[in-house]
Amino acid sequence: MGGAVSAGEDNDDLIDNLKEAQYIRTERVEQAFRAIDRGDYYLEGYRDNAYKDLAWKHGNIHLSAPCIYSEVMEALKLQPGLSFLNLGSGTGYLSTMVGLILGPFGINHGIELHSDVVEYAKEKLESFIKNSDSFDKFEFCEPAFVVGNCLQIASDSHQYDRIYCGAGVQKDHENYMKILLKVGGILVMPIEDQLTQIMRTGQNTWESKNILAVSFAPLVQPSKNDNGTPDSVGLPPCAVRNLQDLARIYIRRTLRNFINDEMQAKGIPQRAPPKRKRKRVKQRINTYVFVGNQLIPQPLDSEEDEKMEEDSKEEEEKEHIEAMKREEPPQNLLREKIMKLPLPESLKAYLTYFRDK
């Protein structure tokens, strides 16, 4: 499934294409997509395919096409502080983007059938927290993943504000999925070859809307134990943050707000997302001359052509300078502020989430 938009040269180029095709329609979703590089979730040797609008699978590792994730993120209508459950959480790519919107007081849970994929997701999550500058630009709700079949969730599990299922749901499992949803919540899942948005409007009332025609592999049916019944799977607990963690959140938020106020006072604009550059196509005027008995086309350079050549060279030089600037490591102002605080080094490390840069 995919191929709805043109391939991009990099993550920002892909997002530009998704916006142009109206798959990404809100600023909040765009920011989340730009903050998480899709290529980081590919295995080495396969990254060249990361910015194509195509699904990717290698063994148990799977990523849906970018156009699918875009429609899912828009349909979920995410807000800070909500609870989210990802059924078939895979690499954690979607859950990490969701975490950037939910913020520190949301709940972000995922359940995945394959233990090796859960380990892969945890590795990618750790890499994002330790290495990505986006982590310091957002308040983040860290995903928690468990291994299990999403059709075996314990009956006493809590309900969620937002749910996504990343595998095809059979009609007889539709009500099972709906029960996991809070009143007022939104469930997005593929059912009968349609990506469907279901809103729970009351205790026993629902509203459904088809979003997109899709083709997903079906959910794996649960295996039974020696007693002939499936084992139940417990979801992560909804833990309350401790005082130390809350202090870190509010210190980082205060510093981030202070940095933004400083930049506004100095008239420094926030860095705009990069724009996709389109190459100018040079057109030449042809004239025709007789060579023997044949009429041969000959290019005729005009003053306009020469001017286009000069403009093209100037554009190339500007692009080269911009590319050199982009290669410079971005300045992490939040980290700089933290490291200047009159605090013990151990506390500074805690405030930076023990990041090395």
Catalytic residues: 64
Q: Which residues contact 328 (CB under 8 A, 6 or more apart)?
A: none
Work out whether the CA dihedral 70, 74, 121, 34 comes out positive or negative: positive
Strand 285-291 and strand 160-165: the pairing is: unpaired
DSSP string, 23-89: S--SHHHHHHHHHS-GGGGSPTT-GGGTTSSB-EEETTEEE--HHHHHHHHHHHT--TT-EEEEET-
Burial of 327 (0-12, 13-18, 19+ CB in 10 A): exposed
Which single residue is written with the structure tokens 């539709």?
Answer: 174
Which single residue is written with the structure tokens 């990490």?
Answer: 96
